[in-house]
């Protein structure tokens, strides 16, 4: 059977790999710097793809994951953050013309969810909710074994669920989104605000303060650091309760660096979630777990997207 080429366009690196249909390990793999502020982004992208094309073997198609917003139906990148070269850019069409191959595009968080469903923690589940909590909050949803994309291809922007309309501004510019409470920068912003109000802590008022440093202080017993993660977990529970009401998954999978702090975040999350689901049936047999694929999720999701679209 023909191979698939998978591409993951990140803010720092572009990665590409080629896969045979019966192995999750790539045939070839290549990673280069994205260099988003420098011209020639499309040429760098085609170069990294060319580096993984298998010699003497047919390629069925190309799957691509990229930060959104984007339109998976038309293959257009609309306005990926930190990459102005690709704003309003017909990436799918250009790559198809360049390589003579069908090309499929979707949001990187959607594809991480698709990868976990197909190859990782979600195997065996037909209805999967995936959330990544790191610099931002993103997600992907699988319903009845199909990736939820929506009419405009903009479905499952789960970090932008409103958990408090009077809350702090999200980086997108609107108030009270989940990302404004539970992402790494949101946790740091809360701590900096409390320090500015005179709250005592081992942490210092540093603009470069990270969620990782706050987690370390929390594990040492710092009350402000503990409170910051409890607050993030509480609002995460509010958001996920809404998602359970909307999608009724059998499994919720958490990825991203912030999710790796464990009970520091999830103790308050579980309490909050249980208080806010309107019927306990939503929690019966619900699996809540962490992602298994790590950095491989983006490429494996892009591969799964191409295989799904091609019927492989």
| pLDDT tens figures, 102-161 | 999 999 999 999 999 999 999 999 999 999 999 899 999 999 999 999 999 999 999 999
Residue 239 falls within a domain, yes or no?
yes
pTM: 0.93
Instruction: Note the residue count of the chain.
Output: 312
Contacts of 147 (CB under 8 A, 6+ apart): 106, 110, 113, 114, 140, 141, 305, 308
Based on the fold, state whether residues 132 and 246 are members of the same structural domain.
yes
Strands 59-66 and 3-9: parallel
Residue 44 falls within a domain, yes or no?
yes
How far is residue 255's CA from residue 20's CA, in Å, rounded to a whole number? 26
Which pLDDT score, from 0 to 100, does residue 180 have? 97
Based on the fold, state whether residues 236 and 281 are members of the same structural domain.
yes
Which pLDDT score, from 0 to 100, does residue 291 have? 96
Based on the fold, state whether residues 30 and 151 are members of the same structural domain.
no
Which pLDDT score, from 0 to 100, does residue 22 have? 84
Based on the fold, state whether residues 287 and 300 are members of the same structural domain.
no
Which pLDDT score, from 0 to 100, does residue 57 have? 83
Based on the fold, state whether residues 133 and 80 are members of the same structural domain.
no
How far is residue 312's CA from residue 310's CA, in Å, rounded to a whole number? 6
Residue 12 falls within a domain, yes or no?
yes
CB 31 within 8 A of CB 44: no
Based on the fold, state whether residues 155 and 228 are members of the same structural domain.
yes
Based on the fold, state whether residues 147 and 243 are members of the same structural domain.
yes
User: Number of folded domains in the chain?
Assistant: 2
Residue 26 falls within a domain, yes or no?
yes
Tokens standing for 70? Answer: 């984007």
CB 234 within 8 A of CB 272: yes
Based on the fold, state whether residues 169 and 77 are members of the same structural domain.
no
Encode pLDDT of 154-180 as tens digits.
999 999 999 999 999 998 899 999 999
- Residue 26 sits in a domain of what CATH number? 3.30.420.40
Residue 133 falls within a domain, yes or no?
yes
Based on the fold, state whether residues 36 and 146 are members of the same structural domain.
no
Q: How many CB atoms lie within 10 A of CB 184?
A: 21
DSSP codes, 202-256: SS---TT--HHHHHHHHHTT-HHHHHHHHHHHHHHHHHHHHHHHHH--SEEEEES
Which pLDDT score, from 0 to 100, does residue 1 have? 65
Based on the fold, state whether residues 97 and 127 are members of the same structural domain.
no
Residue ranges of the chain with per-residue pLDDT less than 50: none
Based on the fold, state whether residues 131 and 261 are members of the same structural domain.
yes
Based on the fold, state whether residues 93 and 135 are members of the same structural domain.
no
Residue 118 falls within a domain, yes or no?
no
The domain of 85 spans: 3-113+295-310
């Amino acid at each position: 059977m023909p191979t698939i080429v998978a591409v993951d366009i990140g803010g720092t690196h572009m990665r590409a790999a080629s896969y045979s249909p019966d192995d999750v390990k790539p045939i070839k793999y290549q990673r280069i710097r994205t260099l988003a502020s420098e011209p020639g982004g499309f040429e760098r992208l085609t170069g990294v793809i060319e580096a993984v094309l298998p010699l003497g073997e047919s390629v069925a198609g190309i799957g691509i994951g990229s930060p959104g917003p984007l339109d998976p139906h038309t293959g257009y990148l609309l306005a990926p953050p930190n990459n102005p070269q690709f704003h309003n850019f017909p990436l799918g069409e250009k790559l198809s013309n360049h390589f003579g191959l069908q090309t499929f595009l979707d949001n990187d968080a959607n594809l991480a969810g698709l990868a976990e469903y197909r190859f990782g923690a979600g195997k065996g589940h037909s209805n999967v909710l995936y959330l990544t909590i790191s610099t931002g909050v993103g997600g992907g949803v699988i319903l009845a074994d199909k990736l939820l994309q929506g009419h405009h291809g903009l479905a499952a922007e789960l970090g932008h669920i409103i958990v408090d309309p009077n809350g702090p501004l999200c980086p997108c510019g609107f108030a009270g989104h989940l990302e404004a409470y539970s992402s790494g920068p949101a946790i740091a912003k809360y701590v900096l605000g409390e320090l500015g109000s005179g709250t005592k802590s081992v942490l210092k008022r540093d603009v470069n303060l990270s969620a990782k440093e706050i987690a370390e202080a929390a594990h040492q017993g710092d009350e402000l650091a503990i409170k910051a993660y409890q607050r993030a977990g509480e609002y995460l529970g509010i958001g996920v309760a809404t998602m359970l009401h909307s999608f009724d998954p059998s499994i919720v999978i958490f990825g991203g660096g912030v999710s790796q702090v464990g009970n520091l975040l999830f103790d308050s999350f579980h309490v909050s979630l249980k208080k806010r689901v309107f019927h306990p049936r939503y929690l019966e047999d619900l699996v809540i777990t962490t992602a298994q694929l790590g950095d491989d999720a983006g490429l494996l999701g892009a591969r799964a997207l191409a295989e799904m679209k091609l019927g492989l």
